Structure 1
Amino acid sequence: MFSHIHVGVGDFPRAMAFYEPLMTALGLELKFVEPEHPWAGWKAPGSDRPLFIVGVPHDGEPHDPGNGQMTAFQVARRADVDRLHALALELGGMDEGGPGPRPHYHADYYGAYFRDTEGNKLCVCCHAPEPAL
């Protein structure tokens, strides 16, 4: 459905310190990084797209995270949501709603919300039911 998503940042080195470990924990591979541009993009292993890209705005204006914008990453297990939310906070992210069920979305939705070091809102979510014990 998507070719790429570009998330603006103002401080590229700080954003890379946040996103590199987070993207690795999500199982994504770095496709490119161009500090002189400055931007970087990640992809799923074995594919060229879609890309998740972070970089300074192309128009040269200051970054503004906006209101109502969010990028959500889907993971296979609820434990991954918990782990990635904790990692994001350890990396300097800001909590926007801890891990837990959100039955108002659907019966099996489990997600967590946070902002990166630039104020961009992100989500990690799982759409699978809780595994049986």
Structure 2
Amino acid sequence: MLSHVFVGITAFEPAFDFYSDVMAVLGLDLKFADPDVPWAGWQQPSAERPFFLIGRAFNGEPATPGNGQMIALLAKSRATVDACHAAALAAGGTCEGPPGLRPRYHPDYYGAYFRDPDGNKLCVCCHEPV
């Protein structure tokens, strides 16, 4: 359904470090990184798409997070959700909701919420039962 997701950043190095840590926990591979543009992209090891991209806004204006916008990344297990949330916080992210069940979505929804160093809101979630 998706070709790619692009998240605006203001400073490449801290954003790249943050997302490199998060994507490693999720098992995603770095496809490319070019600090001169600046941008970087990750993908699943066995898939051509979708990409998860970070970069400076095309119009040259500062990147700003959208109100009500969030990107949810799929984790293979609840333990991966826990590890990803911990990696995000250790890499400079801020907690928007600790790992745990969210039965209001469905009985097996296990998720965690955080913001990147630029304030973009992300979720990492697992839909599988224990």
TM over 0.5: yes
Uncovered stretches (5+) of structure 2, i.e. residues with no partner? none
Q: How far off its partner does 1:8 sit?
A: 0.3
In the alignment, the residues of structure 1 paired with residue 10 and residue 41 of structure 2 have an alpha-carbon distance, to the nearest angstrom, of: 16
Report the equivalent of 1:34.
34
- 1:1-133 matches, within 5 Å, as 1-130=1-130
Matched residue of 1:36: which SS? coil
Using the alignment, how far apart are the partners of 1:63 and 1:113 within structure 2?
A: 20
Segments of 5+ residues of structure 1 without an aligned counterpart are none
**Per-residue CA distance 1:75-128 (angstroms, 9 max, x = gap):** 121111111111111111000000000000011101000001110001110001
Q: Find the aligned partners of 1:79 and 1:104 in 2 and give their Cα distance.
A: 20
Q: What is the TM-score with the length of structure 1 in the denominator?
A: 0.95
The runs of at least 4 aligned residues of structure 1 exceeding 4 Å deviation read none
Query: Could you say what secondary structure the match of 2:96 adopts?
Result: strand
Question: Could you say what secondary structure the match of 1:125 adopts?
Answer: strand
Instruction: Give, in whole Å, the separation in 1 of the partners of 2:26 and 2:77.
Output: 11
Taking only aligned residues, the RMSD between alpha carbons, in angstroms, comes to 0.7
**Identity in percent:** 57
Equivalenced residue count is 130
Q: Which amino acid aligns with 1:127?
A: H
Give the distance between the partners of 1:110 and 1:65, measured in 2 at CA.
Answer: 24
Superposed CA offset, 1:34-92 (max 9, x none) = 11110000000022210000000001111101111111111121111111111111111
Report the residue type matching 1:40 in the other structure: A
Which letter does structure 1 place at the counterpart of 2:69? Answer: Q
